[in-house]
Amino acid sequence: MAEQEPTAEQLAQIAAENEEDEHSVNYKPPAQKSIQEIQELDKDDESLRKYKEALLGRVAVSADPNVPNVVVTGLTLVCSSAPGPLELDLTG
């Protein structure tokens, strides 16, 4: 037996319930932190440090505190059929 399509009243009720759910969320974003502050967090936790190194590598992050947005300074393209990675310097 096929399901019946919801009526306009049922759709309105569902929409009202969803709207109530959206307004009842008490999410508060964490305070903004600089890259330096984030890097300093948990620096004594050996397993977390190794995890971050596995994700990010051992490269020092350079950040200009005068630039509020992310600035992409380089791009590396890796392809299994290429002889090596293609590295692009985007600093200008």
Burial 11-48 (b: 16+ CB within 10 A, else e): eeeeeeeeeeeeeeeeeeeeeeeeeeeeeeeeeeeeee
Is residue 46 in a domain? yes
Is residue 56 in a domain? yes
Structural domains counted in the chain: 1
Is residue 6 in a domain? no
Residues spanned by the domain of 54: 32-63
Is residue 89 in a domain? no
> What integer pLDDT is reported at residue 89 of this predicted model?
93
pTM comes to 0.31
Is residue 23 in a domain? no
Q: With bands split at pLDDT 50, 70 and 90, how would you rate the model's confidence at 66?
A: confident
Find the mean pLDDT for residues 60-81: 81
Is residue 2 in a domain? no
Res. 52: pLDDT tops 80: no
